[in-house]
């Protein structure tokens, strides 16, 4: 069954729009907002993790080889990781 995205009517809204189930932001895939996605050139990456630290979405994780990738379900394509990556390992590529 498809998960209901919005309360059906104004009557079913919780008082004060309170949300009682924790971690619900996970179900909202903000990745659809992006116009560009980050791509890593692992040959330039020095595994410093600055992209991981600066990602405002917290969607960058380190893989088993020590390199970094963004979870594109949540990456909004802001480009902060590419801007901060001083070895120049990240390029923003247009979605298409």
Partner 1 sequence: MAKRVGMEVGIAAAEAVGMCNIDMAAVYPITPQSHIAEHLSEIVADGRIDAEFVTVESEHTSISCVSGASATGARVYTATSSQGLLYMHEILPIVSAMRLPVVMGNANRAISGPINIWNDHSDIMPQRDAGWIVLFADNGQEVVDLTIQSFKIAEHKEVMLPICLNMDGFQLTHTVELIEFPDQKKVDKFLPPRKPLATLHPDNPVSMGTLGMPEIYAEARKSQDVALINSKQYILQIWDEWEKMFGRRYKPVETYRADDAEILMLTMGSMGETAELAVDQLREKGMSVGLVKLRLWRPFPFEELKAAVKNAKLLIVTDRAVSFGGSGGPVYIEVKAGLYHEKERPLIYNYIIGLGGRDVPVPCFVEMFEAAAQSAEKGIVKDYEYYGVRG
Tell me which residues touch partner 1 (CB under 8 A).
5-7, 9-11, 13, 15-20, 22, 24
Distance of CA 44 to the CA centre of its chain: 22
Residue whose CB is less far from partner 1, 12 or 43: 12
In whole angstroms, the minimum distance from the beta carbon of 11 to partner 1 comes to: 7
Which is closer to partner 1, CB of 16 or CB of 56?
16
Cβ-based neighbour number of residue 61 at 10 Å: 11
Q: Is the Cα dihedral 11, 19, 25, 57 positive or negative?
A: positive
How far is residue 14's CA from residue 48's CA, in Å, rounded to a whole number?
44
Q: How far is the CB of 27 from partner 1 (least distance, A)?
A: 13
Residue placing its CB nearer to partner 1 in the complex, 20 or 86: 20
């Amino acid at each position: 069954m498809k998960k209901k995205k919005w309360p059906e009517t104004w009557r079913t809204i919780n008082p004060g729009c309170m949300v009682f189930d924790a971690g619900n932001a996970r179900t909202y895939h903000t990745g659809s907002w992006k116009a560009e996605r980050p791509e890593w050139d692992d040959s330039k990456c020095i595994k410093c993790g600055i992209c991981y630290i600066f990602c405002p979405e917290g969607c960058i994780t380190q893989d088993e080889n020590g390199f970094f990738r963004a979870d594109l379900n949540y990456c909004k394509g802001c480009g902060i990781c590419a801007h901060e990556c001083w070895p120049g390992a990240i390029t923003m590529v247009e979605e298409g």
